[in-house]
Chains A and B, each alone.
Chain A
Amino acid sequence: AQKITQTQPGMFVQEKEAVTLDCTYDTSDPSYGLFWYKQPSSGEMIFLIYQGSYDQQNATEGRYSLNFQKARKSANLVISASQLGDSAMYFCAMREWGGRRALTFGSGTRLQVQP
């Protein structure tokens, strides 16, 4: 069963605006980690942000923040003040602490930032 769901295949946002990329997950493990990666057109995978299931506060890294709603099993990525360089594929991923030592990825969202 798919454990990570990204329902937005593509998104558009105007430069300097904020955008939210959706991610929902499914797990019965109370201990898990959630990750977001960025993949520009060059193909490299860039780690953006991490949230642990026991973290009390939402994770933030510069213009990236993770809107973690545990009861709803959602881990949305918020990008503030979008820049043209934010145009890329974005992947949500999860690792269950009691599970295998690998990340399970979602299908991705392609974000295009318009000038």
Chain B
Amino acid sequence: DVKVTQSSRYLVKRTGEKVFLECVQDMDHENMFWYRQDPGLGLRLIYFSYDVKMKEKGDIPEGYSVSREKKERFSLILESASTNQTSMYLCASSTSLGPGRLELFFGSGTQLSVL
């Protein structure tokens, strides 16, 4: 089974702190993603990566950065956490299954509270 592991299930941070959310996948997937999930807004794409050291901005990249130094690991960084970044963060990975089809495998999520 594909496993996508997020380092923390719950995290509480202070405003202004630098926050690292870690994600590791064990299936040699080339694509990795960070989404945030908020009630009524669904999942919104923050950043994604299709190869080591490659990254692309998603729909809401402001206030976030990412790092992918190894294929299996994709980190989300909040440079200076703010209260509006309180959210559920979901990491996912996928391989391409032919034209158009991506089957995403998700981690269990990190509920981040910024106080």
Choose one: A31, A105, A106; the contact of B99 (CB below 8 Å). Answer: A31
Give the complex CA separation of A107 and B96 in angstroms. Answer: 24
A-binding residues in B (CB < 8 A):
31, 33, 35, 40-45, 48, 50, 56, 58-59, 88, 90, 92, 96, 99-104, 106, 108-109
Pair A32/B100 contact, Cβ less than 8 Å: yes
Pair B40/A9 contact, Cβ less than 8 Å: yes
Task: Give the residue name and chain of the A residue nearest to B57 (CB).
Answer: A100
Pair B43/A97 contact, Cβ less than 8 Å: no
A-B contact pairs, 26 of them (CB 8 A): A4-B42, A9-B40, A31-B99, A43-B108, A44-B108, A45-B90, A45-B106, A50-B101, A52-B100, A91-B42, A93-B43, A95-B100, A95-B102, A97-B100, A101-B31, A101-B96, A102-B56, A102-B58, A103-B102, A104-B59, A105-B35, A105-B42, A105-B43, A107-B40, A107-B41, A107-B42
Total residue contacts A-B, CB cutoff 8 A: 62
CB distance from B93 to the nearest CB of A (A): 12
Give the complex CA separation of A104 and B100 in angstroms. Answer: 13
User: Which B residues lie within 8 Å of A107 (CB)?
Assistant: 40-42
CB distance from B27 to the nearest CB of A (A): 14
